[in-house]
Structure 1
Amino acid sequence: MSDVFARISEDPLDTSAVDEFVWRAESGAVVAFQGIVRDHDGGRGVVSLDYRAHPEAQRFLQECCDEIAGRTGLRVAAEHRVGSLTIGDLALVAAVAAPHRAEAFAACAELIELIKARVPIWKRQHFSDGVSEWVGL
């Protein structure tokens, strides 16, 4: 059985599926991250987001998860949503299970940073004033 789950999805994300994938009887801690669409950015009101992924985004996400799992020996899962999202929708979920909380927290934080830095998924923000802009391009 693989110690990694990585997926790009157009469907709403399910946090319980990610948590359940990583948890095992020897795990004393599951640390999860939920990236949620918020209603503001930089002092401006946000009404929705569009996420678009490079055709190989799945491979990049898998590589991020593999790297963390390989370095730590822990079970790792991450799922990123693409498409149109509204306020309160989950954009990214990730989880890491470990025997102890400190290593689970550290590995999950590192996983999120890798995903943000390496996975080619772009975000277009739609603001309440009718303007929209791509972030990170």
Structure 2
Amino acid sequence: MDIRVQPATFDPGAEANAFTAASRGSGAVVTFTGIVRDTEAGTLRHLEIEHYPGMTASSIKAIAGEAVARWSLDAVLVIHRHGALAPGEAIMMVATAARHRAGAFAAADFLMDYLKSRAPFWKKEVRTDGADWVDAKAEDEAALSRW
């Protein structure tokens, strides 16, 4: 299990290739990369991500451990950035490896839902006209009910 919470950029393709190469015994690898998007048509300067370092890493590690046990995963990678991120930058990546695709897909989806709604990150949109903290979205909360 590889959990990274970092300010540095990362190369999703290189991470996926390395993860896949290390998962040779698996039958399926699923990857997802989240990208900072400008939902206000060109007004987003950057997204600021804040967190409590020890709390965030241990929380993600615990939920990744739950995914490993629930779907018999061979490997998990979670990368989540913090700091100021510009539109178009990779903000996070999840990769799962399992013997079969159903487990790899379900676990990746589970982890993404958790990261979106429960991981201890706080996001602020800094726009050309001001800044606001991002509130939890009802659809993100509802997605958790599947698990």
Q: TM-score, normalised by structure 1?
A: 0.85
Q: Check whether the contact 1:126–1:132 (CA below 8 A) recurs between aligned residues.
A: yes
Q: Say whether residues 1:105 and 2:105 are aligned partners.
A: yes
2:50 counterpart residue number: 52
User: How many Å apart are 1:96 and its aligned residue?
Assistant: 0.5
Q: Map Cα deviations across residues 37-82 of structure 1 (whole Å, 9 max, x no partner).
A: 01215x7832211100123111111111111112222011101000
User: How many Å apart are 1:18 and its aligned residue?
Assistant: 5.2
**In structure 1, distance between residues paired with 2:130 and 2:90:** 23
1:11 counterpart residue number: 8
Supply the RMSD in Å over aligned alpha carbons. Answer: 2.0
Q: Secondary structure at the match of 1:50?
A: strand
108-117 vs 11-20, greater mean Cα deviation:
11-20
1:26 counterpart residue number: 25
- Aligned pairs for 1:64-75 (under 5 A) are 64-74=63-73, 75=75
Q: Check whether the contact 2:72–2:103 (CA below 8 A) recurs between aligned residues.
A: no
Q: Map Cα deviations across residues 82-136 of structure 1 (whole Å, 9 max, x no partner).
A: 00100111111010012222221111001111222321111110223x2110113
74-83 vs 7-16, greater mean Cα deviation:
7-16
Identical pairs, percent: 33
**Which structure features the higher share of helix residues?**
2
Which amino acid in structure 1 is aligned with residue 65 of structure 2?
Answer: D
Q: Check whether the contact 1:13–1:93 (CA below 8 A) recurs between aligned residues.
A: no
**Which structure features the higher share of strand residues?**
1
Aligned residues: 132
